[in-house]
Amino acid sequence: MTESPAPETSQPMVRFERVTKRYGSLVVLDELDLDIARNEKVAIIGPSGSGKTTVLRMLMTLEKIDGGVIHVDGEPLTHMERNGQLVRANESHLRRMRGKIGMVFQHFNLFPHMTSLGNCIEAPMRVLGLSRREAEDRARELLEMVGLRDKMGHYPSQMSGGQQQRVAIARALAMRPKVMLFDEVTSALDPELVGEVLNVIRRLGEEHDLTMLMVTHQMGFAREFADRVCFFYEGKIAEQGAPAELLGNPKEERTRQFLSAVLEAS
């Protein structure tokens, strides 16, 4: 379903303004403009190397920005205003902004020396200052939501990929972010485990006020779940629109080629 156009007064949750990212001479993002509304679910698709992961990593402040500005929740992400000028943000500004964003990685990146409960309470206790009790209550609720009530004391090495990824989702949610980033979170999973992770994401979208950006190769999921699909090509958005439209009736030749290649592969 598509959302009605937002009223002009409401700011987008995320705004990329002519954002450029380079690695040496390789331009990975080329003056990218992208607005994402509050609670909007955006799927990012595109060929390998088109800059999809880079978009998420820049939002998570894992990569430095080479040009342009990213705004989150109305504030510049890696810059701050001082005397009417935008200067590079200091650590405390960065940490405040990072608090609004959560990320789930392709390879889970769980802490292997902590149980799933331990993974979920670590940052809430140390970063948000929650007591152990509060953090555990919150973590239990979330682990239950992702269907891992009976795995709280398990270490990552004792769980399947699908279970680990669900712990990773619970861990990110425990920080109560406003924006959630998902980078091909089912790509490292065996096919039979993909469904359980996508179901969790689906429920998240339905039950929580969350702005969600997901890089995915699951076209079926993108079609049913996303409000909008962005097709990336060589560091730019080559085409975007409602899922049914973009996936069913793409206007650009490059989009068509990509989609038929994906179809063939699956």
Partner 1 sequence: MRALVVCGIVCFAAGLAVAGLPGLRDFLPQLLAGAVVTIEITIGGCAVAVAAALVAAMAKMYGPAPLRWLAVAYIELFRGTSALVQLFWLFYVLPHFGVLLEPMTVGIVALGLNVGAYGAEVVRGAVNAVPRGQWEATVALNMTRAQALRRVILPQAFVAMIPPWGNLFIELLKATALVSLITISDLAFRAQQLNQITFETVKIFTIVLLIYLAISSVITVGMRALEERAARGIGRGRA
Sites of contact with partner 1 (CB under 8 A): 60-62, 95, 98-99, 101-103, 105, 107, 109-114, 122-123, 126-127, 155-158, 171-172, 175
Q: Over the chain, what HEC string results?
A: CCCCCCCCCCCCCEEEEEEEEEECCEEEEEEEEEEECCCCEEEEECCCCCCHHHHHHHHCCCCCCCEEEEEECCEECCEEEECCEEEECCHHHHHHHHCCEEEECCCCCCCCCCCHHHHHHHHHHHCCCCCHHHHHHHHHHHHHHCCCHHHCCCCHHHCCHHHHHHHHHHHHHCCCCCEEEEECCCCCCCHHHHHHHHHHHHHHHHHCCCEEEEECCCHHHHHHHCCEEEEEECCEEEEEECHHHHHHCCCCHHHHHHHHHHHHHC
- Between 53 and 164, CB nearer to Mg ion: 53
- Between 53 and 218, CB nearer to partner 1: 53
Q: Which among Mg ion, partner 1, ligand ATP, none contacts residue 54 (Cβ within 5 to 8 A by kind)?
A: ligand ATP
- Between 53 and 186, CB nearer to Mg ion: 53
- Between 22 and 57, CB nearer to Mg ion: 57
Q: How far is the CB of 236 from partner 1 (least distance, A)?
A: 25
Q: Which among ligand ATP, Mg ion, partner 1, none contacts residue 163 (Cβ within 5 to 8 A by kind)?
A: none
Residue with nearest beta carbon to ligand ATP: 53
Q: Is 211 in the site for Mg ion (CB under 5 A)?
A: no
Residues that bind Mg ion in the complex, under the rule CB under 5 A:
53
